[in-house]
Structure 1
Amino acid sequence: MRAAVVRSPGLEAVVELVEVPTPQPGRGAVRIKVAAAAVNPVDLMVRNGVGGTPFAAPRDQWGIGWDVAGTIDAVGADVTEFVPGQPVIGLSDRLDVSLAAQADYVVLEAGNVAPAPTTVNSIAAATIPLNGLTALQALAAIDPQPAESLLITGAAGGVGGYAVELAAAAGIRVIASAAAADEQVVRALGATDFIPRESSLPDAVRELIPGGVDTALDAATLGPQTLAAVRAGGRFVSINLAATPIPLRGTKVTTVLVHADRKQLDDLVAAVDTGNLTLRVADTYPLDAVAAAQQRLAAGGLRGRLVVIP
């Protein structure tokens, strides 16, 4: 089978498409025939080099791709909840692997997989796991209540957009920050208030809410700038360890590093099938053009995810 890998990570590295033996599912695992796999910023991080860091040890080859949509191709021992031919989505949430989701087939633990939504195709479904789970887990970390305010930076992006929609559906007042050109998109997702990212975020927030917001989800990884918009004693969550600020003024600061969760995947699928979660695909590429897809992602300015199709 074909798989996208990086052999020599670094700033000059390129992702390669290589021929490798088709992996076999072990006990408690399933093999998925990949129909679509989203391209995410974490793929660029792997390409640029995470080996020898606190995230992962060095290895000879790094698999690329976290999101997958496809069909069950084979199941390992003790797997009873999935059968061959069943449409699924899943998350490959380990950095230290030689093969990942951007491939013809991928093996995942059964707990990383959920039945696919029935109302969208596999290309759209492939955009759900990584960004959807990150949004859910970040919101859970700060637990905004209906009587509270929530600031979401990067509100037009993958994680931020899902977070806006999920929080708005829960009755939370969402103050969204994104590029001025994205205001209508972000408001359509459910944001109550909008702040152009070109503004001074702490000052603009306090014009709306004296003292600052109760909670903040920093999907744009602005760090101290976002924390400065939070009231004393408020709650802040980052999705990037390097961009997590010091908890000043009695704030509670948390970092969420996403992990697979079957129940949360089921919840996201249900939100899609009931029309409560909007999926956005920016463009598609064949698997053999994965390097071009990464280059386009690195250039920025996308709204929605790029998806590669074997």
Structure 2
Amino acid sequence: MRVVGFTSFGDPSVLAVVDEPLPQPGEGQVRIRVEAATVNPADVAARSGAFGPMLPAGPRYVLGWDVAGWVDAVGPATPGFAPGDNVVGMSDWLTTKRGTHAEFVVLDAAAVASAPAGVDPAEAATLPVNALTADQALDLLGLTEGQTVAVTGAAGAVGGYTVELARHRGLNVIGIGSPQDETFISRLGATFLPRSDDPARALRAIMPEGVDGLLDAAVIGPPALAAVRDGGTFVSVMPPATPPAERGIRVETVFVRSDGARLSELVTLVEQGRLTLRLAQTFTFDQAAQAHELFAKGGLRGRLVLTPRDRP
């Protein structure tokens, strides 16, 4: 099978399409024929060597956390799925190093859910990692109905899902983003606040006592902590940007993990029109380096997606 891999860290030119043996599903696993797989920040970080000792030099790494496709084979003692089922799933890549930028990938059935009905695979592939990150971040925030959460980077992939899921939980949401994203963020159900050099002061101007919780999807870091009230909660999406706790604020970092049962619930929200899938652009495996180059430029709204073959 064809995969997008690299054998040394570096710029996008290290990526190459090569052949690897077809993987076989074991007990409790499914093999998925990949139709689409998203490019996420973690893929770019891994390729560049930014993970450092977490990712020692290996013979070859195949990137990719998200997948949309259909079940090709089922391992022993794997109920719930059958060949031909349309699915979405997530690879716990840092643990398994089993990337989805391949024609086939084997995942634990517990990391997989039925794909949203009537949704193109390229769009469906944008759901698992980013929506699960948002959902698990909200769990860490631990807010209750009627409380207020601020979301930096509210127009981004994680931020957008966070706004919608927070509203679904009955929270009041302040979404921070670029002025050009005001309409989109407001449509998601948040009170829009334009980003600034002093996000805490801007938030305190409309919430003098501070917000109950804040998800820092834009990786602002310590400057955003002052927006949280004493005893509130701050959740970071990146360890280097996680500030030390102060004023009784609980500070957490979300490390996304696969969860097929919860992913199935998120799929239902997509089918109900409560979660907005956003696809920026698709590339074939042979264009993976171009996708990484475009990702590095920033400013994307929605995710870039790789497909094993040309789309019709």
TM-score, structure 2 length as denominator? 0.95
Equivalent in the alignment of 2:88: 89
Equivalent in the alignment of 1:181: 180
Cα displacement (A) at 1:141: 0.4
The CA distance in 2 between the partners of 1:187 and 1:15, in whole Å, is 39
Runs of 4+ deviating beyond 4 Å: 96-99
Equivalent in the alignment of 1:20: 20
Q: Is 1:13–1:47's contact at 8 Å kept on the other side of the alignment? A: no
Corresponding position: 1:293 with 2:291: yes
1:232 corresponds, among 230, 235, 241, to 230
Cα displacement (A) at 1:248: 1.3
**Secondary structure, in 3 states, of the residue corresponding to 2:247?**
coil
Q: Residue 304 and residue 52 in structure 1: after superposition, are their counterparts in 2 closer, same or farther (change >3 A)?
A: closer
**Paired amino acid for 1:152:** V
10-19 vs 264-273, greater mean Cα deviation: 10-19
**Paired amino acid for 2:29:** A
Q: 5+ unaligned residues in a row in structure 2: which ranges? A: none
Corresponding position: 1:38 with 2:38: yes
**Paired amino acid for 1:207:** A
The CA distance in 1 between the partners of 2:277 and 2:218, in whole Å, is 19
The CA distance in 2 between the partners of 1:263 and 1:98, in whole Å, is 22
Root-mean-square deviation over aligned CA pairs:
1.5
Q: Residue 59 and residue 277 in structure 1: after superposition, are their counterparts in 2 closer, same or farther (change >3 A)?
A: same
**Secondary structure, in 3 states, of the residue corresponding to 2:25?**
coil
Q: Is 2:211–2:228's contact at 8 Å kept on the other side of the alignment? A: yes
Equivalent in the alignment of 2:168: 169
The CA distance in 2 between the partners of 1:166 and 1:286, in whole Å, is 31
The CA distance in 2 between the partners of 1:235 and 1:221, in whole Å, is 15
Q: Is 2:91–2:98's contact at 8 Å kept on the other side of the alignment? A: no
Q: Is 2:161–2:276's contact at 8 Å kept on the other side of the alignment? A: yes
Q: Residue 245 and residue 12 in structure 1: after superposition, are their counterparts in 2 closer, same or farther (change >3 A)?
A: same
196-205 vs 237-246, greater mean Cα deviation: 196-205
Same amino acid, percent of matched pairs: 47
Q: Is 1:234–1:251's contact at 8 Å kept on the other side of the alignment? A: yes
285-294 vs 196-205, greater mean Cα deviation: 196-205
Q: Is 1:156–1:182's contact at 8 Å kept on the other side of the alignment? A: yes
Cα displacement (A) at 1:170: 2.0
**Paired amino acid for 2:305:** V
Q: Is 2:196–2:202's contact at 8 Å kept on the other side of the alignment? A: no
Equivalent in the alignment of 2:9: 9
The CA distance in 1 between the partners of 2:250 and 2:34, in whole Å, is 40
Q: Is 2:12–2:292's contact at 8 Å kept on the other side of the alignment? A: no
Q: Is 1:69–1:116's contact at 8 Å kept on the other side of the alignment? A: yes
Cα displacement (A) at 1:11: 5.2
**Paired amino acid for 1:110:** A
The CA distance in 2 between the partners of 1:306 and 1:49, in whole Å, is 21
Cα displacement (A) at 1:199: 4.7
TM-score, structure 1 length as denominator? 0.96
Equivalent in the alignment of 2:78: 79
The CA distance in 1 between the partners of 2:175 and 2:4, in whole Å, is 35
Cα displacement (A) at 1:52: 4.9
